[in-house]
Amino acid sequence: MHPLSNGRDTKFSDPFLNGLEIFKISENSLKSLAGPNPDPIQNPNNSNAGHNKKKSISGTTLIGVVLGAVFGVILVFIVVFFVFRSKRKTKGEMATTTKESKSSATSKWGPLSFSTTKSSNTQNSLPSDLCRSFSLLEIRAATNNFDELFIVGVGGFGHVYKGYIDNGATPVAIKRLKPGSQQGENEFINEIDMLSKLRHLHLVSLIGYCNENNEMIIVYDYMERGTLRDHLYNTENPALSWKQRLQISIGAARGLHYLHTGAKHTIIHRDVKTTNILLDEKWMAKVSDFGLSRIGPTGITKAHVSTVVKGSVGYLDPEYYKRQRLTEKSDVYSFGVVLFEILCARPPLIRTAEKKQVSLADWGRYCYKNGTLGSIVDPSVKWSIAPECLRKFGEIAVSCLLDDGTMRPSMNDVVWMLEFALQLQESAEQREHVVIPHTLGRIDDLEGEKRGENDDVFSSGTSVAHVSDFNKSSEVSVSTMTTSSSGDNSYGYNKESVFSEIVDPKAR
């Protein structure tokens, strides 16, 4: 019993035979015990090995694809970076070449290209947007080549010209830096940086600037009425009415209030004075000249900025001058001097006057304390000020001039109190045509009685008036002011009309 010799039907020998019965039932036509072998049993380990091999191959392929994609993305970024850098370099070279070859006669909005004579620090400090770029050719055309007949102002920065741009359609004020002034250059950069980021009804608007051929020029909206000082003293202009002065005071105070609280960081003007308050054709006040401005304290724990003392003599905060610590209350002090200028129509310093009258700030406080404020009021408005309004205005000015800066009101408080003083004036004008009696020389006589220590928000027991509390709510301040201004309401004015600004939000 062996496999067929030709191996046609078998490949393996059967290892064992189960008896003759298998032979009998065999359907083999040759009646032989030889037959085909069954299919060999597959080893399960061999199958798993094949599967693992496929899985391993698939994992390797996936890793390769991911790594390839990552390297591809990195390569794309590198290519884009170098292309972008190359384009920027080309644009910069083209702008410089264009600037040096020919000045464009058409102004544009957008980034400025700078003359190669300027330092890199100046170029980097100037803003690259939000300002209109003027060529020197345009500025010369606007001012008739800086004709002296076009000069409308002279200051520490340089000359201010009136000019016309946009084919003569738009009047502008053009401030030209004095050549070679390093301090002026710093102020130039600072003012553009400040004004390019600020927009407010009571701040002068920056239109643009020119930085070419060693010329540094700033272009503003033109203020038709000039400076506030032009309408107070040493002028041929008609005197301002008292109501106009109040409204101008309120406008300037709002501008300073915006600087202190409306921007991202507190901005301290540092040079508040009547020549830096401009008036437009409608007599609206706008604060100007931000060359000395500084960013105020930025930290919660920091209350001041340590800096070199700068400002104008007669307006400087004594606390800032002595300690070189600048706060927004330094602006409040300067504004107090401005208020006395508005009231008295005299300069902040008169060096030829008697010793106690040299400084307007000291003289004003002295007169207020002694009840003789009426004696230093500008004669042109002396007889048109309502007594209660005069008293309130004096309180505000003196509070701004307190020696301790922390006791001075904020500009928000100043705005509110000035609006209240205007309400008092308007209320009195509605009652009758106010004529101040000849006893105006003493504030005590305005109400026909002596002031008691508790009749006012100030106590007169010290050489400088004391402010009890300027941080109270408006409602509390209203009751305080009602007591101090009207006493027993002997004037008979309507309280509802006086406080209409509270009832009607639009009044503010």
pLDDT tops 80 at residue 499? no
Cβ neighbours of residue 450 under 8 Å, at least 6 residues apart? 444
- At 8, the amino acid letter reads R
Task: Summarize the chain as % helix, strand, coil (round to 5).
Answer: 45, 10, 45
Give the ranges where 272-386 is alpha helix by DSSP (H): 318-323, 328-344, 360-369
Of 172, 169, 332, nearest to 256 by C-alpha is: 332
- At 189, the amino acid letter reads I
By annotation, the residues acting in catalysis are 271
Classify the C-alpha dihedral 431-434-437-440 as positive or negative. positive
pLDDT tens for residues 263-289?
778 899 999 999 999 999 999 999 998
Q: Say which range, 16-30, 267-281, 441-455, has the weakest mean pLDDT.
A: 441-455
d(CA 341, CA 425): 19
E-strand spans in 280-409? 285-287, 294-295, 305-306, 325-326
Average pLDDT score over residue span 437-442: 45
d(CA 457, CA 399): 10
Residue 109 DSSP SS3: strand
- At 186, the amino acid letter reads N
pLDDT tens for residues 339-355?
999 999 999 999 999 99
pLDDT tops 70 at residue 338? yes
d(CA 309, CA 492): 49
d(CA 450, CA 452): 6
The share of the chain scoring above pLDDT 70, in percent, equals 61
Structure tokens at 407: 């006791």
Tell which wins on pLDDT, 395 or 92: 395
pLDDT recorded at residue 374 = 93
d(CA 178, CA 190): 16
Q: Has 264 been labeled as part of a binding site?
A: no
Average pLDDT score over the chain: 74
Average pLDDT score over residue span 458-479: 38
**pTM (whole model) above 0.95:** no
Kindly list the structural domains of the chain, giving each domain's residue range(s) and its CATH number in brackets, ordered by start: 108-221 (3.30.200.20), 226-507 (1.10.510.10)
User: In sequence order, what are the beta bridge partners of 277?
Assistant: 287
CB of 331 within 8 A of CB of 270?
yes
Of 256, 228, 252, nearest to 345 by C-alpha is: 228
pLDDT recorded at residue 56 = 55
Distances (CA, A) of 448 to 116, 131, 143, 387, 492: 72, 57, 58, 11, 14
